[in-house]
Amino acid sequence: MGVRKDLKRAKRRTDLAARHRIDLVRDNRTGTIREASAPPLVAPPTTGSTADLPYTNATEAPDAVILRRRTAEGTWHPITAATFAAEVTATAKGLIAAGLEQGGRVAVMSRTRYEWTVLDFAIWAAGGQTVPVYATSSADQVDWIVRDSGARLVVTETPDNTATVTTGTAGHPEPPRVFTLDEGAMAELATVGREIPDEEVTKRRTALTPDTTATICYTSGTTGRPKGCVLTHANIHNEAANVVELLHPIFKEVTGQTASTLLFLPLAHIMGRALQIGCLMARIEIGHFPSIKPDELRPVLREFRPTFLVGVPYLFERIHAAGRATAEKMGRASSFDRAHRIGVRFAEAYLKKFLDTGTRTGTPVKGPDIGLYAAWALYDLLVYRRIRKELGGRLRYAISGGSPLDRDLSLFFYAAGIVVYEGYGLTETTSAATLVPPLAPRPGTVGLPVPGTAVRIADDGEVLVKGGVVFDSYWNNPAATDAVLSGDGWFETGDLGALDEDGYLTITGRKKDIIVTSGGKNVAPAVLEDRLRSRAPVAQCMVVGDNRPFVAALITLAPDSVAHWLAVRGMPADTPMAEVIQDPRMRADVQRAVDHANAAVSRAESIRAFTLVEGEFTEDNGQLTPSLKVKRHAVREAYAAEIEALYSSK
């Protein structure tokens, strides 16, 4: 298996392994680790900005292919560093001609695509600041973001997006000027900017410093109006440069592969942009795709064949579910389930041996025995290789963020030859604040502090973060800034967690989401919800129980899982959902997912009842954020009657 060889080879490279040093602070009273920090691998910048990156690449390696652009025919056209820099300059000149002033803001409302990348760097090269807007945003959300940020220019993807902007900003004293990508915005900007000299772009770009604001990224707004996080060019550099320096030398030296990735995360989210900037720093080839939906993404993965991916747990959950559905159609569901169990056992045993976790006790750690190796080899032929093929065939590594990934699912992918490294971060920390290091995978945790970052656990269990990745302020909101940023630079994340003896962080939930039952039991819903979503046919779910006698759950079903479930049982594809959710066989399948979730908690914290609800939690109905987080207050309001019924029937 490739990743096992990679890890063995990497472990011998002690020069690489020793670079990520972790300093720990122990609580003298409790004996627990209270703080972990890592010195930077890359010094903080003292001059320049992220805007210089395309021009540095064009000067140092003009013919290097740094991006690939997908054509309508499904082929990938190479973009060299010199070509990219020229496009950035032409677009920057167009933005200046359109009225962008030094320090002005431009909103970009588009799905992930090549032009987004050009625009981001062009806005910076013209001395401006990028304001990302999710392509799914409503007119009201656009109204707020454009009004609050003061963006005078907006670039949209589609005419529908433009209509949303027009509606949302109709009441503004001076509505913004709008350019639409699908109606030739890039060509239009290049045309209007022809009279602007290149020297004007150079002058504006070189006036930027590390402390200049690069972007105002609005939070997902799960509890109210989105807040604009002010991120500087230094924030972006500290994040991207340290993550690249941590990961890329190891992947490059160990695998011998030329790294490439397919970027499908929304570029309106800082995680996708930080990844992109890091790849451009390392001249890692990037392709873009506008959808995270597995059915749309899988054929493109087979086209592009990336060596690594950055995704969210939803992607890995759905790939696993699709693999089981395929096996069930072939009459091999039990074989897939056994492959899952064998994979988890094999990966756990192998990683324990690799990490030598018995050294503290002096007890030797045994790896997989010969029987387990044989079982793994069998299922590698029957199941695991199919998973690799679905992901393009060359994938060796993946990074998962946004929410915790079920530990067993991470181990399953490891057995399939793909190491999934989890990370943790927020918009306010410019994406990852922690990341599982490449030479020490530890499924179930979100890793160690990113170089240049410190993590502290407060007395109440809240995770605090400090370092060059922490944001500057909330735009136009000093009160909100003061509420989460201490005078000595610690950011209060609102998440609860713990550090283990080696400094690995585990996230247990959100402070504001903690459920307190009428019996006084504190329950972190995230643990249950993350495990529930990892099992088909569950799509989204929300655990409830505040001031109630026990914990319960609202559960929605994934449409693809329902379609498969009906087909396997020979039921009509148009069977009403009301009938499906009442079918005892479906409820039994969901109960197995509930049992899997309950296995991670005590009896008092377990889900005692659940209800299946029609429809889904979506962005369109206001129950999901664009980053796929559940808006708990919106779901509670929408399903108030169903929640009451859960408790009145007991």
Domain boundary residue, one of 505, 527, 545: 505
Q: With contact defined as beta carbons under 8 Å apart, do 537 and 562 qualify?
A: yes
- State the pLDDT confidence band at 8, using cuts at 50, 70 and 90: low
Amino acid, single-letter form, for residue 308: F
Point out the least confidently predicted range of 111-115, 156-160, 254-258, 294-298: 254-258
Q: Is the pLDDT of residue 9 over 60?
A: no
**Same domain assignment for residues 492 and 537:** no
**Same domain assignment for residues 349 and 405:** yes
Please indicate, yes or no, if residue 467 is contained in any of the structural domains: yes
- Collapse the DSSP code of 511 into the 3-class scheme (helix H, G, I; strand E, B; otherwise coil) and give the result: helix
Mean pLDDT over 287-316 rounds to 89
- The per-residue pLDDT for 15 is 61
Point out the least confidently predicted range of 35-44, 61-70, 401-410: 401-410
**Same domain assignment for residues 477 and 389:** yes
Q: The tokens of 373 are what?
A: 């190796």
Mean pLDDT over 124-147 rounds to 94
Please indicate, yes or no, if residue 61 is contained in any of the structural domains: no
Q: How many CA atoms lie less than 13 Å away from 137 in the CB half-sphere?
A: 36
Distance between CA 40 and CA 26 in Å, rounded? Answer: 21
- State the pLDDT confidence band at 108, using cuts at 50, 70 and 90: very high
Mean pLDDT over 67-93 rounds to 95
Q: Is the pLDDT of residue 365 over 90?
A: no
**Same domain assignment for residues 255 and 219:** no
**Same domain assignment for residues 107 and 254:** no
Point out the least confidently predicted range of 55-69, 209-223, 510-524: 510-524
- The per-residue pLDDT for 13 is 56
Q: With contact defined as beta carbons under 8 Å apart, do 103 and 127 qualify?
A: yes
**Same domain assignment for residues 491 and 564:** no
- The per-residue pLDDT for 358 is 46
Mean pLDDT over 245-253 rounds to 74
CATH at 520:
3.30.300.30
- State the pLDDT confidence band at 14, using cuts at 50, 70 and 90: low
Query: What range does the domain containing 396 cover?
Result: 2-40+244-259+307-505
CATH at 319:
2.30.38.10
**Same domain assignment for residues 553 and 462:** no
Distance between CA 79 and CA 331 in Å, rounded? Answer: 45
% of the chain residues with pLDDT over 90: 56
Please indicate, yes or no, if residue 236 is contained in any of the structural domains: no
- The per-residue pLDDT for 312 is 84
Contacts of residue 215, defined as CB under 8 A and 6 or more positions apart, other chains included, come to 129, 130, 131, 132, 231, 236, 270, 273
Look at strands 419-426 and 397-400 and give their pairing: parallel
Please indicate, yes or no, if residue 176 is contained in any of the structural domains: yes
Q: Which residue has the higher pLDDT, 648 or 256?
A: 648
Look at strands 228-232 and 260-263 and give their pairing: unpaired
| CA-to-CA separations, 602 to 411, 495, 530, in angstroms, rounded | 23, 21, 16
Domain boundary residue, one of 474, 505, 536: 505
Q: Is the pLDDT of residue 250 over 70?
A: no
**Same domain assignment for residues 412 and 558:** no
- Collapse the DSSP code of 485 into the 3-class scheme (helix H, G, I; strand E, B; otherwise coil) and give the result: strand
CA-angle at 537, arms to 531 and 543, nearest 5°: 45
Q: Please give the full DSSP string across 562-623, using - where no structure is assigned.
A: HHHHHHHTT--TT--HHHHTT-HHHHHHHHHHHHHHHTTS-GGGSEEEEEE-SS---TTTTS
pLDDT in tens, 333-348: 888 999 999 999 999 8
Distance between CA 145 and CA 162 in Å, rounded? Answer: 15
- Collapse the DSSP code of 137 into the 3-class scheme (helix H, G, I; strand E, B; otherwise coil) and give the result: coil
Point out the least confidently predicted range of 77-81, 196-200, 237-241, 322-326: 322-326
pLDDT in tens, 508-545: 888 888 888 877 777 888 888 888 988 888 989 999 98
**Same domain assignment for residues 387 and 530:** no
CATH at 89:
3.40.50.980
Domain boundary residue, one of 471, 505, 539: 505
Please indicate, yes or no, if residue 267 is contained in any of the structural domains: no
Q: Which residue has the higher pLDDT, 445 or 105?
A: 105
Mean pLDDT over 185-201 rounds to 97
Contacts of residue 212, defined as CB under 8 A and 6 or more positions apart, other chains included, come to 49, 232, 233
Distance between CA 155 and CA 176 in Å, rounded? Answer: 10
Please indicate, yes or no, if residue 264 is contained in any of the structural domains: no
**Same domain assignment for residues 497 and 558:** no
**Same domain assignment for residues 479 and 568:** no
Q: Is the pLDDT of residue 18 over 80?
A: no
Mean pLDDT over 559-586 rounds to 89
Residue 9 DSSP symbol: H
**Same domain assignment for residues 491 and 524:** no
Please indicate, yes or no, if residue 111 is contained in any of the structural domains: yes
Other residues' Cβ atoms within 10 Å of the Cβ of residue 423: 21
Distance between CA 405 and CA 595 in Å, rounded? Answer: 17
Q: Is the pLDDT of residue 319 over 90?
A: no
Please indicate, yes or no, if residue 399 is contained in any of the structural domains: yes
Domain count, the chain: 3
Contacts of residue 157, defined as CB under 8 A and 6 or more positions apart, other chains included, come to 109, 110, 111, 113, 135, 180, 181, 182
Contacts of residue 28, defined as CB under 8 A and 6 or more positions apart, other chains included, come to none
